[in-house]
Amino acid sequence: MNVTVIGAGLAGSECAWQLAQRGIQVELHEMKPEKMTPAHTTEYFAELCCSNSLRGAGLENAVGLLKEELRRLDSLILQCADATRVEAGGALAVDRHGFARLVTEKVRSHPNITVIPGEVTEIPEGEVIIASGPLTSDALAETLQGLLGEHSDLHFFDAAAPLVSAESVDMEHAWMGSRYDKGTDDYVNCPMNQEEYDAFWKELTTAQEAEVHGFEDSMVFEGCMPVEVMARRGHDTLLYGPLKSRGLDDPRTGRWPYAVVQLRRDNAEGSVYNLVGFQTHLKFPEQRRVFSMIPALRNAEFLRYGVMHRNTFLDSPRLLDRYYRLKKEPRIAFAGQMTGVEGYVESAASGFLVGVETARRLKGQPPVDFPREMAIGALALYISNESVTQFQPMNINFGIIPPLDHFVKGKRNKNAEISQRALAILEEKKADILA
C-alpha cells in the first residue's frame, strides 16, 4: 500500500506522518530547496512563513480546542509545537526554525516515509494527496487547472510581518508584559501617545506599496490583512485591532496608552521579535521609515521585512467531500490551505484527517465520522458544504460548531463547555481513530 503526498508543509508533513504511523508507505515530494517560493527561506519542512504563533491556547478559543483535539490524537505538528514552544502569554508560539527543523527530522527519519526532492508538475497514478500549499508552483497549478476546471481559479493575498532584533528595541520607550497581566511577561509593549499615533497613521496610509500583480484591497483575506490596508479603513481601525491598548497598563503611568504596538518573541533565545499584526506589503525602505516612527523602534534593526504573496485556494464546496477527497476522482485528495482552511493549526488538522481517512480506506476500515461537534469535523464539513455559495478561507470558530442544547451564562464559559463536549466525543472515538 503506497500513497504519494505532494508538499511537505504543515498539512503534508502531518498527513505523511499519520499515514506512516498506520503502516502505509509514503512517497513525500517536496520541491524545496531545489525550487523556492517568494515566502520560503529555508529547506525545512513545515516552514512558518507568516507569524510564529499558533494562536490561542485556552479551550475558550476554538483554535485552542482544535489544538487540544490534535494533541490528544498524536498530531506530529502539535508534538513539535509543544516541544519548541516560546512564551507568548495565552498563545502557543514556537521557535520558528526549531519547530520546522524538528518536524523535518522526524519526518525524514520515519521508516515508512521516503522523501523525494524536486518539483512535481503532473499528478501521479494511484493514491495521491496534494498538499502543495497556497504557493503551488505554476506548472502544478496549471495541471490542477486542467483537472478541476472552472472551480480552481480562486485566490487571495497573504502577508508576513517584519522581524526585528531584540537588542535594537529601545526599552526606555517600552515594557515587558501581557494583556491584563495574563501569564508571564512575554510581549514587548511599544506605546504611542495620540500625537505620535496620528503622525504614524498618516504616513502609514500614504506609504508606497510594493507592486503585487493583481492586488486589490477587496481581495485581502480579513484574517491576515496588511496593516496599511487596515489603516486606510479609518483613523481608529488600528486602535481596535493590532494597536489596541486595552488591558496593557504602562508601568510608568499606570494607565493604558493611546496605542500600543506589541512585539512577540520569534525564537527560543528571545533575540528576534516580530511585530504582532503588522503583516504588510509596503516597499522595504517604506517599512523602515514608517515603522521606525514607533518610539521604541526608532533605531530598530530589521532582520526581515514584511512580504506579501498570492495564495490560491479551491472552490472546495463544489469539489471536495468531507474527507477532502476530489468528488469526481476520489483517489485524489487535497490538504492544507489550498482547501480553504485558513491557519497553521487548521492546515495541520486537514492533513491529519486526510491521512487517517486514506490509511483506513486502504486497510479496508470504515471512515471515522468526525462530527460537527468536534473542531476537526466542523472544518471538514464547512469546506465541503455545498450550500456555502461565496466560499472564502475560514479559520476554525465556534460559529461553525453546533451550539449547546442548554443555556450557559458568559461567552467564555459557554465556549469552554462546547470544547468539553467535543473532547468527550473525541475520547469515545480515540481508540478507533488511533487504530
Binding site members: 7-12
**Interstrand relation of 91-94 and 53-56 (parallel, antiparallel or unpaired):** antiparallel
End-to-end CA distance of the chain: 17
Report which DSSP code applies to 341.
Answer: B
- Binding-site residue positions for FAD: 7-12
SS3 for 242? coil
CA separation for the pair 33, 37 (Å, rounded): 9
Residues with Cβ within 8 Å of 30's Cβ and at least 6 positions away in sequence, in order, are: 7, 8, 12, 45, 115, 116, 117
b/e per residue, 129-162, with b = 16+ CB within 10 A?
bbbbbbbbbeebbebbeeebeeebebebbbbbbb
Cβ(351)–Cβ(131) below 8 Å: yes
Residues with Cβ within 8 Å of 258's Cβ and at least 6 positions away in sequence, in order, are: 191, 192, 193, 194, 196, 197, 239, 245
* C-alpha cell belonging to residue 30: 517536496
Following CA atoms 131, 22, 47, 96 in sequence, which dihedral angle do they give, to the nearest 10 degrees?
A: 150
